[in-house]
Chains A and B, each alone.
Chain A
Amino acid sequence: MKRSWLEWLHKRDPRATRMLAVVAVIAVAVAMVMVGCGQSGQEEVTGRFRADLRAYYGAPPVIPHPVEALGRGNCRACHEQGLIYQGQVAVARPHPYVGECRQCHVEQLPVEPKVKNSFVGLAEPERLPRAYPGAPPLIPHETRMRANCTACHGPRGHPELRTPHPRHWTECMQCHVRPEPGVEPPVVNNFATLWEATR
């Protein structure tokens, strides 16, 4: 089965098979790294934890640790470069410097409001499908206020978000792009269809 579609593809475009080979190697490498990182239980907890710090997708996360006890204006000590300590991640600032950190990020004291709130917020976006296995993943989230990709995806980001290829992290957007939400291309492209059909 496999041989037959490869042969077919090779006949159509010999370059495609070479590219596929390269892609396959990368894909295997990615898979290995992901397995390496994936102590899956912890991943799940931290992933959910990160989302829970926001009122909705796009809201600034609240601060999950005491602040005033740490003294004033010291956010940068941990969040300038990013820091991992005893399994906890203090991500670097993903957005350019804007005024006071605490104009958007606020501490939470363990008290509950007297009045309940029934707001239902927007969920974090799901991962987007790749063009083919091994194709660079698309960026599923807004890039505004997230210009510094390495804050989350660099070596000091959350384990489940770290890039498998940290040496190539200077120009992330040359391979990973953000599809404009809700926009469909005017011309149908059959690549994905072919891919699905031959699988």
Chain B
Amino acid sequence: MAVTRREFLGSTLAATAAATASTSLLVSCAQQQEDLKRIDLSGVTWKKGVCRFCGTGCGVLVGVKDNRVVAVQGDPENPVNRGLLCVKGYHAPLILYGADRLTKPLIRRNGKLEPASWDEALDLIATRWKEIIEKHGPDAVAFYGSGQWTIEEGYAALKLMKACIGTNNIEANARLCMASAVMGFMTTFGSDEPMGCYDDFEKADVFVCWGNNSAEMHPVLFSRMTMARETRQGVRLVDIAPRRTRTSEVADLFVQIRPHTDLALANGIAYLLVHRGYIDREFIEKHVVFKRGKTDIGYGTEDGFKFKDQPERITFDEYVAFLDDYKPQRVAELCGVKVARIEELAQIYGDPATKVVSLWCMGVNQHVRGTWMNNLIYNLHLLTGKICKPGSNPLSLTGQPSACGTVREVGTLCNRLPADMLVTNPEHRKKAAEIWGIPEEKIPAKVGYHTVEMFRALDRGEIKSIWIQVTNPAQTLPNASRYIEAMKRPDTFIIVSDVYPTETTEVADVVLPSALWVEKTGLYGNTERRTQHWEKMVDPPGEAKPDVWQIVEVARRMGYGHMFDFGGKPLEEGLFEEYRKFTLGTGKDLAPYEVYKRVRGLRWPVVNGKETPYRYVEGYDPYVPKGAGISFYKNKKDGGRAVIWARPYEPPAEEPDEEYPFWLTTGRVLEHWHTGTMTRRVPQLYRAVPEAYCELHPDDARELQIATGDLVRVVSRRGSLQLRAKVGGRGTPQRGMVFIPFFDEEKLVNLLTLDAFCPISKEPDYKKCAVRVEKVG
């Protein structure tokens, strides 16, 4: 007990690493108790909610007393997590109570953000937007939202932009994380989002993770996998990744491939499936067509990059001939793995008795060939007929709590309308215009700017103003310096709605204080198509207001009030009920708003009150015709069949060379959510991982004479960053590769990354660029 708080604070990070005397640490922890005030149990009410963080969509019970959140429990009645949460989820109540919550609108005057009234701020936004639109047209304004938007917020923003203002310039940060998954689904199945669901975790024999560290990023789903392995014989976990992670540690088989060579590996597995007779010919004949598209498709690093694929049908034999480039020996050399490993994987996918679930997330999606890689994983399941069968399905995991529910289903993207519809399709525009009660011509047929191009257009002066909600692009855009500078310029008008100061509020002209999580009512939609509702439980602090209110207030001031008048219904309910009209009869049907208030979520399509665990499967999915068994009915242009794509290996946009000899991969850590805006204000999570670091392979570290705790400089062609090295921590990159997490606003790794993207999905590749590493001092 001799350690005082000051001494405690004074001790350095490096000293901790060295500290092994547990006694002193135990005392140190007890010392923290002066921080810990407690509230007694009496009078606490518990209400159902959804976790604020990842796309898993865990149910929570939120304990509320005296208008404050005092605890959460994993909701034992929620089938997603059955009472379990991860460390972020358990500490979610604390995200509301950081001392620097934004509580008043701020307007930049003479270079300084100063408090203002809501009326001033909202009038300023409406006036500026009207002026800009009058002078430069509707495409000079843009909205940039988030997969953490509630469904109602996303829908309100979409309606403001596409139905009221008449521009398709609305994007969301899901472009940076899920766009490749979307385009993978659209090109293979003609409809976004998975056929399978979490029920598969208790039915599968083998889980294959493709570039997905689910132990840290989807912990509750990972625990369902490891529980399956504990409780059923023969269950295995396979991890395919360039970096050894906590997932690899637990996996039965770890296949460490070179960065970007997943394309070759997937084709190599397909080659073996075809040549070893592992394919399901009957399934292929009934449910599959083969196609190829353009090759050598570029990387989008230049402004105004355009790409349009030209799909053409090919025969099965042509597909087999295409696979000849992926004979095991060549693939093994390219990937840096043994031939035996590829054979083992082919055996897993090929053995008719083995039920396989493939899982992937950012490793596959944040990829300059992300759409292709999604296609290639589907190929493996389609070739073997291991799809649309309980226990055997590809499952594309989502990163954000409502990337699916809001961005993908509502369609808050520059090319989309709700429920899989596209702005380029006149029939789709007609349907949307009817629901919105506006003339068809109001919705432009021209696709708006996708995220990277939107910020480039801001820099070029084509876009004059962006309204940013629930996301922090100054920290998350790749090659961020150019876009930060553009946002800082006085001729750009940046509006940011957020809950805490961020890198983006730093460069904003107007900052609007937002309500967070259970301070408002909302719906989120998770990975397995489950739409979940929660009610507002506590008041937001100060003058903070829900994002949806902010959107509607600006709309009113711009003269679009009538578009958001729902006859006295609560705003959230009115918006949802209108949005629901888009989904009915499409195979993406949602239930009435009232229903979601009662249930622990429902998986769409919800028809006659019944949810659908498995899409495209007779007996589960009401849209599958009787006797069809399986039908990919959404892919009308291919006669209700899915597509196996011939997609080749093509090199990444930037590879290590003599000057920049290391691969740089970025990502998350378990404890922090995205840019750390919320989690870095939670003491327990802050103390667990206080700052970003550069992870090295021990052999590389030895060669460079770098040890854990040493200060290193990481330099790319775009920027440089100083941070501490870490060797032998929770992850170990392969030789010639470093890993840096992106949560730390004091160490902006996106000053280093490259703004190359998948030409089809426009999703940037945060996993691969070239850097050099220097020891400082």
A interface list, Cβ under 8 A from B: 45, 48-49, 51-53, 55-60, 62, 64-66, 68-69, 72-73, 88, 97-100, 102-113, 115-125, 142, 144-145, 181
* Inter-subunit contact B30/A45 (CB<8 Å): yes
Q: In this complex, which of B11, B36, B63, B249 has the most chain A Cβ atoms within 10 angstroms of its Cβ?
A: B36
A55-B90, A119-B94, A144-B76 known; A111 and B227 CB under 8 Å? Answer: no
A69-B20, A103-B670, A123-B39 known; A64 and B29 CB under 8 Å? Answer: yes
* Inter-subunit contact B90/A119 (CB<8 Å): no
- CA of A165 to CA of B451 in the docked complex: distance in angstroms? 65
| Besides A52-B36, A69-B18, 14 other A-B contacts (C-beta < 8 A) | A51-B36, A55-B90, A58-B72, A59-B90, A66-B19, A68-B728, A99-B223, A102-B246, A102-B670, A103-B670, A113-B686, A119-B97, A120-B37, A120-B39
Q: Is the CB of B690 closer than 8 A to any CB of chain A? A: yes
CB distance from A87 to the nearest CB of B (A): 9
Stretch of B80-88, B119-127, B607-615 at the chain-chain interface: B80-88
* Inter-subunit contact B26/A109 (CB<8 Å): no
Q: In this complex, which of A53, A103, A105, A110 has the most chain B Cβ atoms within 10 angstroms of its Cβ?
A: A110
Stretch of B379-387, B389-397, B677-685 at the chain-chain interface: B677-685
* Inter-subunit contact A117/B29 (CB<8 Å): no
* Inter-subunit contact B688/A123 (CB<8 Å): no
Contacting residues, chain B, for A88 (C-beta < 8 A): 22-23, 26
- CA of A118 to CA of B541 in the docked complex: distance in angstroms? 12
* Inter-subunit contact A106/B671 (CB<8 Å): yes
* Inter-subunit contact B688/A107 (CB<8 Å): yes
* Inter-subunit contact A103/B97 (CB<8 Å): no
Q: Is the CB of B8 closer than 8 A to any CB of chain A? A: yes
* Inter-subunit contact A106/B685 (CB<8 Å): yes
Q: In this complex, which of A45, A49, A57, A118 has the most chain B Cβ atoms within 10 angstroms of its Cβ?
A: A118
Of the residues B63, B76, B84, B94, contact of A98 by C-beta under 8 Å: B84
* Inter-subunit contact A145/B38 (CB<8 Å): no
A97 to B, closest residue via Cβ:
B230
Q: In this complex, which of A99, A102, A104, A124 has the most chain B Cβ atoms within 10 angstroms of its Cβ?
A: A99
Of the residues B71, B223, B685, contact of A121 by C-beta under 8 Å: B71
- CA of A117 to CA of B98 in the docked complex: distance in angstroms? 4
18 contacts between A and B (CB under 8 A): A56-B70, A57-B71, A59-B91, A60-B90, A62-B29, A62-B684, A68-B728, A69-B19, A99-B223, A100-B223, A104-B86, A105-B87, A110-B687, A111-B13, A112-B9, A115-B681, A121-B70, A123-B38
Which residues of B696-736 are within 8 A (CB) of A? Answer: 728-730
Q: Is the CB of B354 closer than 8 A to any CB of chain A? A: no
* Inter-subunit contact B99/A103 (CB<8 Å): no
* Inter-subunit contact A65/B90 (CB<8 Å): no
Contacting residues, chain A, for B25 (C-beta < 8 A): 64-66, 110
* Inter-subunit contact A53/B87 (CB<8 Å): no
Contacting residues, chain A, for B13 (C-beta < 8 A): 109, 111
- CA of A55 to CA of B85 in the docked complex: distance in angstroms? 14
Contacting residues, chain A, for B83 (C-beta < 8 A): 144-145
Q: Is the CB of B215 closer than 8 A to any CB of chain A? A: yes
Contacting residues, chain B, for A107 (C-beta < 8 A): 688
- CA of A124 to CA of B747 in the docked complex: distance in angstroms? 38
* Inter-subunit contact B227/A110 (CB<8 Å): no
- CA of A20 to CA of B680 in the docked complex: distance in angstroms? 57
CB distance from B7 to the nearest CB of A (A): 9
- CA of A120 to CA of B40 in the docked complex: distance in angstroms? 10
CB distance from B10 to the nearest CB of A (A): 9
* Inter-subunit contact A108/B29 (CB<8 Å): yes
Of the residues B30, B71, B91, contact of A49 by C-beta under 8 Å: B30
- CA of A144 to CA of B97 in the docked complex: distance in angstroms? 27
Contacting residues, chain A, for B340 (C-beta < 8 A): none
Q: Is the CB of B96 closer than 8 A to any CB of chain A? A: yes
CB distance from B537 to the nearest CB of A (A): 15
- CA of A45 to CA of B31 in the docked complex: distance in angstroms? 11
* Inter-subunit contact B41/A113 (CB<8 Å): no
* Inter-subunit contact B222/A103 (CB<8 Å): yes
* Inter-subunit contact B94/A103 (CB<8 Å): no
Contacting residues, chain B, for A110 (C-beta < 8 A): 8-9, 11, 15-16, 25, 28, 687
Of the residues A51, A68, A113, A116, contact of B17 by C-beta under 8 Å: A68
Q: Is the CB of B776 closer than 8 A to any CB of chain A? A: no
B93 to A, closest residue via Cβ:
A119
* Inter-subunit contact A122/B671 (CB<8 Å): no
* Inter-subunit contact B16/A52 (CB<8 Å): no
A69-B17, A121-B38, A123-B38 known; A109 and B688 CB under 8 Å? Answer: yes
CB distance from A10 to the nearest CB of B (A): 39
Q: Is the CB of B73 closer than 8 A to any CB of chain A? A: yes
- CA of A113 to CA of B684 in the docked complex: distance in angstroms? 9
Contacting residues, chain A, for B99 (C-beta < 8 A): 115-118
Q: Is the CB of B33 closer than 8 A to any CB of chain A? A: yes
* Inter-subunit contact A109/B16 (CB<8 Å): yes
- CA of A105 to CA of B91 in the docked complex: distance in angstroms? 11
Of the residues B18, B22, B222, contact of A65 by C-beta under 8 Å: B22
Contacting residues, chain A, for B39 (C-beta < 8 A): 120-123
CB distance from B315 to the nearest CB of A (A): 45
CB distance from B670 to the nearest CB of A (A): 6
- CA of A18 to CA of B83 in the docked complex: distance in angstroms? 43
Contacting residues, chain B, for A52 (C-beta < 8 A): 29-30, 32-33, 36
- CA of A66 to CA of B29 in the docked complex: distance in angstroms? 12
Of the residues B11, B41, B223, contact of A122 by C-beta under 8 Å: B41
- CA of A117 to CA of B87 in the docked complex: distance in angstroms? 17
* Inter-subunit contact A108/B30 (CB<8 Å): no
A68 to B, closest residue via Cβ:
B729
- CA of A60 to CA of B93 in the docked complex: distance in angstroms? 13
Contacting residues, chain B, for A115 (C-beta < 8 A): 98-100, 680-681
A73 to B, closest residue via Cβ:
B249
* Inter-subunit contact B246/A120 (CB<8 Å): no
- CA of A111 to CA of B435 in the docked complex: distance in angstroms? 54
Contacting residues, chain A, for B219 (C-beta < 8 A): 99-100, 103-104
CB distance from B22 to the nearest CB of A (A): 4
* Inter-subunit contact B26/A99 (CB<8 Å): no
